[in-house]
Amino acid sequence: MDSKKKNLTVCILFGLLLAVAFLACLFLPKEATSDSERRKLAAMPAFTLDTVLSGRFMSGFETYTQDHFPFRDQFRTLKALSATGLFHRQDNNGIYVSDGFAAAVEYPLNESSLDRAAGRFQYLYDKYLNGSNRVFLSVIPDKNCFLARESGHLSMDYAQLESLMAQKVGFADYISISDLLERDDYYRTDTHWRQERITDVAERLGQAMGERLAAAMGVEHSAQYDTVTADAPFYGVYCGQSALPLAPESIHYLINDAIRDCTVYDYQNNRTGTVYDMERAMGKDPYEIFLSGSLSLITMENPYAQSGRELVLFRDSFGSSIAPLLLSGYSRITLVDIRYIQPDYLGQFIDFENCDVLFLYSSLVLNNSDTLK
């Protein structure tokens, strides 16, 4: 076969491949979301004269085909391996891996975002709080804080972020916890911290807020819990976002009588549940085993409370796993996620009088605070 025929054959086969892929994009069943990437996939754009003439249809269709290309996940993994292995890129899709730990590049520090977050907290303070409340602030450093300095990746100044937030939220007493944390306190494939490794963080928060948790009474805090391992393997959010074949890990959760018998009420879905939602352990994000994930407004009732003190915890998803460890110091803990509920509605559900209040947020959310309502 001469070269012309070979070239023609290759062109025909390539054209057939594209045609098959195009038809598959159009007619094969489509998923609405990507479980691996934890996001919604693009929908087929409306085909109208207006969308065609304006160019919106072709633009939307391009995004649609990229999201629904056959064997897309496999191609993403191949591309990621090529980028990091063959071309020695330091990260893929903004995710890098260092010594088996995956993290997102978080740089630079966005002070205007910190201003916005502080402004939202100030609004809550002015609207609902007064002299009867003890108010606290604490910042959870991102895993990148510990990985970047070892691996040479870009990293913002986390100490500066903490200092700025403490200054900007002047009405709250600042509780520093970063010195208690290290790389191994976080999941290898996910952004979150590991509950079984943050009992000392809970102890510091409790002591700073004046509550005598176990260690303050002469008992090692971690010794109060039984550790249970969830059955399902855990593939964290960075597995899908990086498209790299990262090994799964396990989720461990802590149990004692107060946690086991605690009543959790979910205002968003009008239902009563438990601290650990075992159905979520088998879902697309097993981290949601902790208090069913980032719900807008929930309460935890401690049946064994020795005081009537209550805590209102303004938080992001990191708060789901540490809130149960604060339960021994309070009769009730109310968790509020203002990414999902308008602050103006809170007075309908929460009596803030005489409550302790803790603003506990990760540096990831503070540096990207447009999600806060």
**pLDDT digit string, tens, across residues 85-104:** 544 466 667 888 889 999 98
The pLDDT value recorded for residue 154 is 86
How far apart, in whole angstroms, are the C-alpha atoms of residue 11 and residue 5? 10
Mean pLDDT value across residues 121-143: 96
pLDDT > 70 in the chain, percent = 73
Residue 29 predicted with pLDDT over 80:
no
Band of residue 326 on the pLDDT scale cut at 50, 70, 90 = very high
The pLDDT value recorded for residue 94 is 81
Residue 172 predicted with pLDDT over 60:
yes
How far apart, in whole angstroms, are the C-alpha atoms of residue 260 and residue 214? 17
Q: Are 204 and 177 in contact (CB under 8 A)?
A: yes
**pLDDT digit string, tens, across residues 308-325:** 899 999 999 999 999 999
Mean pLDDT value across residues 35-46: 62
pLDDT > 90 in the chain, percent = 58
Band of residue 7 on the pLDDT scale cut at 50, 70, 90 = low
CB atoms within 10 A of CB 51: 16
Q: Check residues 41 and 48 and name the one with the higher pLDDT.
A: 48
Mean pLDDT value across residues 270-297: 93
Mean pLDDT value across residues 343-358: 96
The pLDDT value recorded for residue 61 is 59
Residue 253 predicted with pLDDT over 80:
yes
Average pLDDT, the chain: 84
The pLDDT value recorded for residue 92 is 67
**pLDDT digit string, tens, across residues 187-241:** 999 999 999 999 999 999 999 998 655 444 444 555 589 999 998 899 998 887 7
Region at 116 (left for phi over 0; alpha for psi -120 to 50; beta for the rest): alpha
The pLDDT value recorded for residue 28 is 54
The pLDDT value recorded for residue 36 is 52
The pLDDT value recorded for residue 48 is 77
The pLDDT value recorded for residue 91 is 66
